[in-house]
Amino acid sequence: MGLFDKKKKEENIEVADTDVTSNVETGRRFSVIIDGITTMLDGNGSIITGKLTGKIAKGDKVFVCMPASKPIECEVQAVEATEDGRSSIVEVAEDTQVSLQLTLPDDAQIKKYAVVTNIEPQEKINPRVSIENPALAGIINGLTTYAQDNAFHGTVAYWASHAHFLTPIKMDQEPEVNEQGVSVIKKDTKIGFYMLKSTIKLTGAPENQDNMVLPLFTDWDALRRWTGLADEGTKIHTQILSFQDVYAMLKRGNAYAGIAINPFNKIPCTLPIPYLDTIVGTPGYQAEFGSKDGAAQGNVHEQKIPAGQKILLGVPKECEENEAIRGKLVEYGQSHDDIKSISFLTKVEEETKAVRHLVVLEFPEGYDKEEMKGHMEAIYQELRPLAREIQAIEYALKGAIPAVDNVIQQHSDKMLIYTA
């Protein structure tokens, strides 16, 4: 185990500590990976079969999670479990192959490798509530059983790329608690990210280096399995990182050979960087999150105005959405001391009437271009949930387009929203 020290830069600034509220009422966790669906003879409902991890009971409220679908909330009506090679109807089953009868809607289309869990999926991240990724936590329990099936790996990739992880950190100064009761890392805090040495050789790792991985956790239950992480009674600080945060961090350095999800669970999930590259390189991922190399693409790209093209630049209108975007840009600039200024404009193409947000960034002279692209992508991930009326976001670098610089200078009181 080691630490990778750096100043707080692209990572989230909110800290989730051990005093957050759990949404697991009983402390009992279970998941079933569905590998078979059978329609009942009378046509009234379906029986699903799969691998159970944990303890399930008749009458449990559960959620059926499938990629790109809203979770289906239902109840366990009956449980059939396999013990010593024999199947029987039971009230409770634990860590075995099961068949379940659920109160599913008539129009429910359950797919192979759906995950049944008693942990409610989270639509939004709340730093005051425990992070939960029940579908990802459940699906990786099937790695030893379904590893040869590409469809299974596609499901793992989907849930991993949509996850928000916990990772423990060390800081050289304690965070502050804001008026909402959320711990916030102070500017210029040095953060230490932990490293674990992989016991297996990871694809793509340099021959002369240890295979170090970034430990990530789907929930606090998985994190607490890391015995010896902190002295008894010591608060564990963590950061919440999206998959996009993690990938950008790994690609900007060579400290890590990959990630380890729930490394202290019975079945850990270790993914080397080439596996992550494959996830990010899929058309579905790029359409939803952006390009493979971290450069902005599609709705997000560095603006280079073609010769002869007429554009109109203006101050974004006053509305709640744009105010939230301004606030997020200012927050990002304050959190990254390598950004000298940020300007926020509205761009309209005179010919097509297309309206876009234009974010103009200023970096120190000689700043690395790949780092610039990383900031563009990170900012896009921050703004994407806020953008509604105008979803297209473009970038320009201060000094690259004189016409843009002139407009900002003339309206600096409204367009120049952050300076270091």
pLDDT category of residue 190 using cuts at 50, 70 and 90: confident
Residue type, 296: A
Residue 151 or 237, more confident: 151
Residue 58 forms part of a structural domain: yes
Give me the pLDDT at residue 43, please.
56
Residue 107 or 307, more confident: 107
Residue 278 forms part of a structural domain: yes
Residue 10 forms part of a structural domain: yes
If asked whether residues 266 and 335 sit together in one domain, one would say no
Q: How far apart are CA 362 and CA 160, in angstroms?
A: 33
If asked whether residues 266 and 362 sit together in one domain, one would say no
Give SS3 for 371: helix
User: What's the mean per-residue pLDDT of the chain?
Assistant: 83
Start-to-end CA span in the chain (Å): 36
Give me the pLDDT at residue 360, please.
94
CATH for 364: 3.30.300
If asked whether residues 34 and 16 sit together in one domain, one would say no
If asked whether residues 111 and 170 sit together in one domain, one would say no
Question: Cα torsion for 74, 76, 80, 84, to the nearest 10°?
Answer: 100
Which CB contacts under 8 angstroms, 24+ apart, belong to 381-387? 381/242, 381/244, 381/245, 381/289, 381/290, 382/328, 382/332, 383/325, 383/328, 383/329, 383/357, 386/321, 386/324, 386/325, 386/328, 387/321, 387/325, 387/357
CATH for 112: 2.40.30.10
Query: In the predicted model, is pLDDT for residue 36 greater than 70?
Result: yes
Among residues 132, 160, 156, 154, which one has the least CA distance to residue 143? 156
Q: How far apart are CA 232 and CA 190, in angstroms?
A: 24
Write out pLDDT tens, residues 274-301.
999 999 888 788 777 765 443 333 333 4
Percent of the chain with pLDDT over 90: 42
pLDDT category of residue 5 using cuts at 50, 70 and 90: very low
If asked whether residues 52 and 155 sit together in one domain, one would say no
If asked whether residues 270 and 177 sit together in one domain, one would say yes
Residue 295 forms part of a structural domain: no
Write out pLDDT tens, residues 44-88.
667 899 999 999 999 999 999 999 999 999 999 999 998 888 899
Residue 177 forms part of a structural domain: yes
Residue 34 forms part of a structural domain: yes
Among residues 94, 105, 238, 106, which one has the least CA distance to residue 171? 238
Select from 54, 85, 118 the last residue of a domain. 118
Can you tell me the mean pLDDT for 196-216?
79
- Domain interval for residue 352: 300-419
If asked whether residues 207 and 315 sit together in one domain, one would say no
- Total structural domains in the chain? 3
Select from 289, 317, 332 the last residue of a domain. 289
Residue 7 or 216, more confident: 216
If asked whether residues 142 and 275 sit together in one domain, one would say yes
Among residues 357, 369, 340, which one has the least CA distance to residue 395? 357
Q: Cβ–Cβ contacts within 10 Å for residue 223, how many?
A: 23
If asked whether residues 317 and 192 sit together in one domain, one would say no
Indicate whether this model's pTM tops 0.75. no
Query: In the predicted model, is pLDDT for residue 178 greater than 80?
Result: no
pLDDT category of residue 262 using cuts at 50, 70 and 90: very high
Residue 124 forms part of a structural domain: no
Write out pLDDT tens, residues 342-369.
999 998 877 777 888 899 999 998 888 8
If asked whether residues 91 and 9 sit together in one domain, one would say no
Write out pLDDT tens, residues 11-21.
333 444 544 44
Write out pLDDT tens, residues 226-253.
988 877 777 888 888 889 889 988 887 7
Query: In the predicted model, is pLDDT for residue 339 greater than 80?
Result: yes
* Sign (positive or negative) of CA dihedral 185, 253, 216, 170: negative
- CA neighbours closer than 13 Å in the CB half-sphere of residue 360: 27
* Sign (positive or negative) of CA dihedral 366, 369, 370, 373: positive
Select from 225, 257, 289 the last residue of a domain. 289
If asked whether residues 140 and 285 sit together in one domain, one would say yes
Can you tell me the mean pLDDT for 182-191?
72
Residue 185 forms part of a structural domain: yes
If asked whether residues 170 and 242 sit together in one domain, one would say yes
